[in-house]
Structure 1
Amino acid sequence: MTRPRLGGDRGSVVAEFAVALPAVVLVLVVGIGALAAGSRHVRLQDAVADAARLSARGEPAGRVHAAVSAAVPGATVEIAERGDLVCVTASTPSLLGMRITADGCALAGGL
């Protein structure tokens, strides 16, 4: 008959799991946050491109702001003319306190 060793491996799996779990959760949270930020950036870029075309056709600024806000709620919008171009810049908060910014331009008087 063998006697159990003192300080054996009993309970080591639970201890290792308790140490690894916060790291796994942190990686998952950062990964999901990055995917959400990427998705929000794509929506914002698409909305800014549409808004630049609207503004270049002579639509009122309220309509341009509404187009961006409909796609990305809470976004701030700036419209500027740069020579023959009408440019729209929008930004919105993202997870972890970062801001996402997108810029789009269209030829003024565009079709």
Structure 2
Amino acid sequence: MDGIKYAVFTEKSIRLLGNNQYTSNVESGSTRTEIKHWVELFFGVKVIAMNSHRLPGKGNSHRLPGKGRRMGPIMGHTMHYKRMIITLQPGYSIPPLIEKRT
């Protein structure tokens, strides 16, 4: 379970819980198949779909992890994590993971 960092609780992610979809941030190097395997093995659920996206990098702070990327005159950073939306089969659910406010 090292690949999954924490659950995300935003307005959208709370709305998705009604559709049996769970949102969490995962390590940027993790693949969909790895995360699916970890979730099914650890929580004993059946995953039917996974969607992922990388969040845009943040400003010029040198304290932020992630690789530096230049977009014209602006220097940014890639994020060190990506967000996964995991859809479970009806009848399955997972308990909330560790909450981190975003």
What's the TM-score bracket when you normalise by the shorter of the two chains?
0.3 to 0.5
Relative contact order higher in (CA < 8 Å, ≥ 6 apart): 2
TM normalised by structure 2 equals 0.34
Question: 1 or 2, which has the higher strand percentage?
Answer: 2
TM normalised by structure 1 equals 0.32
